[in-house]
Amino acid sequence: MTSRTDLHTLGVADASRALASGACSSTELVTHLLARIDAHAHLGAFLHVDTEGAVRAAREADARRAAGQAGALLGVPLAHKDIFVTTAHPTTAGSKMLAGYASPFDATVVTRLAEAGCVSLGKLNCDEFAMGSANENSAYGPVRNPWDRDRVPGGSSGGSAAAVAARLLPAATGTDTGGSIRQPASFTGTTGIKPTYGVCSRYGMIAFASSLDQAGPIARSAEDCALLLSAMSGFDERDATSAERPPQDFHAQMLTPRANAPAARPLQGLRIGLPREFFPAALGSDVESTVRAALAEFEKLGATLVDVSLPRTELAIPVYYIIAPAEASSNLSRFDGVKFGHRAARYANLLDMYKKTRAEGFGPEVQRRIMIGTYVLSHGYYDAYYLQAQKLRRMIADDFQRCYADCDLIAGPVAPSVAWKLGEQGDDPIQAYLADIFTLPASLAGLPGMSLPAGFGQAGMPVGLQLIGNYFAEGTLLHAAHAFQQATDWHQRSPA
């Protein structure tokens, strides 16, 4: 029988096995986690906790199991990043602009996880409209890193990553536009995967940059991520960007042995490319040594390391910070005080209402990106900036394809440093933008990528290893990650 005081230590796969065997019930697990969430409110991870709804859903899951129903995720608790619209919980996108908004429908990702039997505990804090690298841009306060409460958890899915790291729940949904699953996973010692663009439906996910936004899970392990991604993914006719592919069992793909690979060397024949641009002189020595040690472990497991080049890596930052703000400027134009969301209390006319509503409702980072995006899309600048950025984006994607002629996966650090102190980069947003240099290229190319706990760096803070696969190679990514986690225990470490 699982100890009732240790239920929070269960990951998704562990909880699934415990529920299936009767070692615990979903009601016991959910009740235990709700108490833990309340005790750790100081982390700022949750924006809304649905105690009554979660307990009711857990009891329903227990009744379904008692009636003979089964399912890997039946009764497993999680929570959703507050960028997914939900009928059962408020949706704010971390912004005052949506304070009090009640969605009339659920996001597809939310619906699919509910249909798989997951129990939602509530909504998680995030950078406003998913814009940020530190989760300091939320209108409802910052999220704190459970490894050091004076440091950021990364963003924009910082609430999701912090909640999983603090063992407040086994897993959470997140979104990744330029690294917003992988970077917070790295900063908090959790595992996160951004699938190929189009694998998970964007329907009901409040848009930041439509050609970049993609949903994915943050959890304890690759196995947990595989179970969740299998339920979250799949074609959705309501999303024009959804990939028309049959449902995938990523968990089965993760467990499928490589051809002719012995048990002792499960990754034999796997070629892992190391772009020289991912190991610049400016990379923190603590991060580099940790990543190199993790790569040595992959070699022990049979993988071969191959030197490759992504020559346009440095251009990813200016390209992303032209394309993403341009799309944000267009997407956020709907928040005008007319249809839904915040509206200024006093105004002289319609134009004055627009101005005051948006000035009051949007925070500084969102305003900054809207202004940049409007500028690069304006007459006389579109060709010079936005069009050129799109051409370079295609070249960045082509660089990856040249690499995949020589390797199966690409590896490197997730971020140049460990998590920084809260407020440390508040006066210099460019520094936060530069922290995305290793995650942006894969996002611009639409490739799948994930972050694995690889060890610890300066001040005892977690360091993540990034793996990037070719299009729709999630199975290969998860298989390699799972083999690494079977041989190491970094993913099992938790903050005091």
180 classed as catalytic: yes
Strand order from edge to edge, sheet including 462-469: 46-49, 119-124, 77-81, 171-176, 214-219, 191-194, 449-456, 462-469, 409-413, 271-275, 304-308
Query: Quick check: 449 and 466 in contact, CB under 8 A?
Result: yes
From the list 16, 25, 26, 81, the catalytic residue is 81
156 classed as catalytic: yes
Helices (H), 180-249: 182-188, 222-232
* Phi, then psi, of 314 in degrees rounded to 5: -65, -25
Q: How far apart are CA 19 and CA 35, in angstroms?
A: 19
Q: How far apart are CA 414 and CA 161, in angstroms?
A: 15
Residue 486, H or E segment? helix 474-487
* b/e 181-204 (16+ beta carbons within 10 angstroms → b): bbbbbbbbbbbbbbbbbbbbbbbb
From the list 120, 156, 221, 443, the catalytic residue is 156
From the list 95, 157, 180, 443, the catalytic residue is 180
Closest-CA residue to 445 (of 482, 402, 486, 494): 402
81 classed as catalytic: yes
Residue 400, H or E segment? helix 388-403
- The DSSP bridge pattern shows strands 304-308 and 271-275 to be parallel
* 331 Ramachandran zone, left/alpha/beta (phi>0; psi -120 to 50): alpha
Catalytic residues: 81, 156, 180
